[in-house]
Amino acid sequence: MLDIKFIRENKDIVQAGAKKKHVDVDIEKLIAVDDARLQTLKAVEDLRAEVNKVSLNISRDLDSSAKMQLIEEMRVVKEDIKSHEDKLKNIMEEWQGLMLQVPNVPDMTVPEGASDADNQEIKVWGEKTVFDFEPKDHVEIMTALKMVDFERGTKAHGFRGYYLTGAGVELSFALWNYAMEFFTKKNFNLIMPPAVIKKTDFFGTGHLPAGVDDIYWTQDGDGLIATAEIPLMAFHSGEILKEEDLPKKYLGFSPCFRREAGAHSKDVKGLIRVNEFFKFEQLILCEASHETSVKLHEELNKNFEEFIESLVLPYRTITACGGDLGRGHVKMYDVEAWVPKEGKYRELGSASYFHDFQSRRCGIRYKDKEGKIKYTHSLNATAVATPRILVSIIENYQQSDGSIKIPEVLRKYMGGKEFIK
């Protein structure tokens, strides 16, 4: 959420930012509603001040008739206050709804574009894997090696269902253990957050109101998280931190749940797009400085790139265009690994920063060295998501005999084995 003062003072910039993100929002209407909010709020405050003033007069030594007259006058004023408060409540509901629709202003370096087709490639690492045999896809390889059971997964869950089995489970645990070791060396603090959280926390990160159809909801109105980013932001919600304790760096591990509503046109067979998965997520809270946010954003993305490089997976990094950014994003990088059988890059994760958009919604503040209270900036990035990364590992490391060569950095977590056969 943006500061209403910022919106009023920079309405052209905010409107241009919304246009760049291809978000339809009426800033002039918001300002008109805000004017009504301020006017009604002032009217209520003035009437309350009048009641307080008259109450002092009533307490003085006045004759009974004078007191009765003042009491009657105050009865009318209190009715007026109630009327204005009811009006203010309705205005506030409209105001809050409009405020939640206003997107963050994207960075000047974000390219123009309407969708992910317009994202810009900024880095390519590694040579695309070349085989002297006809490569297979991960579904065929993993099924043959009894690493996954899609048939029974579909029976249990539906189209996106799967059971990881045998070496599929071992490889996942190897990735998790390696990721935990890799990222904690970079001074991240481990957290295993709740996977079922309050609806307000989804508003806090900006996953609501727009993403309501992508969330699994419980009968109690709570939601299943799509990423550890959501409960990690809730961890410090409503708190005032100390500047000397910033940045706060967390590595969250959690199950994740996504309904993938509206993704039917993107459906592919296998582990690319599933409803349930596990993910390590990097998250940082830092001081309210654009320069610091930019620096840490590059650091988060570099962490992820280095992790993929250590697995020796060919990948590319792209900058998301305006139309591919979420409402809260200032800028986002996507890292995509090469998938040989498809002959294309597939997203493995992303790195984003938000300025104070999320912290303002979550109420996460800090006291600076001068004693001023400010909202923190927030950033997050993928560390590793399974089972999607298995797709690239399996397909890039497949052998002509149908086995899989295990990436060297993972072997110690798999009993020293070199191959999955």
Residues serving a catalytic function are 258, 273, 347, 350, 388
* Six token digits for residue 368: 């600076």
Establish how many alpha carbons lie within 13 A of residue 225's alpha carbon, considering only the half-sphere containing its beta carbon: 26
Question: Which H helix or E strand runs over 318?
Answer: strand 315-319
C-beta pairs of 290-299 under 8 Å, 24+ apart in sequence: 290/355, 292/247, 292/377, 293/330, 293/353, 293/355, 293/377, 293/379, 294/353, 296/247, 296/353, 296/379, 297/331, 297/333, 297/351, 297/352, 297/353, 297/379
CA torsion, ordered 57, 61, 66, 67, to nearest 10 deg: 70
Peptide bond into 209 cis (omega under 30): yes
Amino acid of residue 307: F
User: What is the Cα–Cα distance from 235 to 225, expressed in whole angstroms?
Assistant: 14
Phi and psi at 243, nearest 5°, equal: -60, -35
User: What is the Cα–Cα distance from 218 to 202, expressed in whole angstroms?
Assistant: 14
User: What is the Cα–Cα distance from 280 to 355, expressed in whole angstroms?
Assistant: 22
Whole-angstrom CA distances from 238 to 221, 227, 233 are 21, 21, 10
Please choose, from the candidates 387, 384, 401, 327, the residue with its C-alpha nearest in 3D space to the C-alpha of residue 360. Answer: 327
Please tell me the total number of residues recorded for the chain in this structure.
421
Reported in sequence order, the residue ranges of 98-178 that DSSP labels E, i.e. its strands, are 120-125, 148-149, 163-164
Q: Please check whether residue 356 is in contact with residue 376, taking contact to mean a CB–CB distance below 8 angstroms.
A: yes
Name the pairing type of β-strands 240-242 and 365-367: parallel
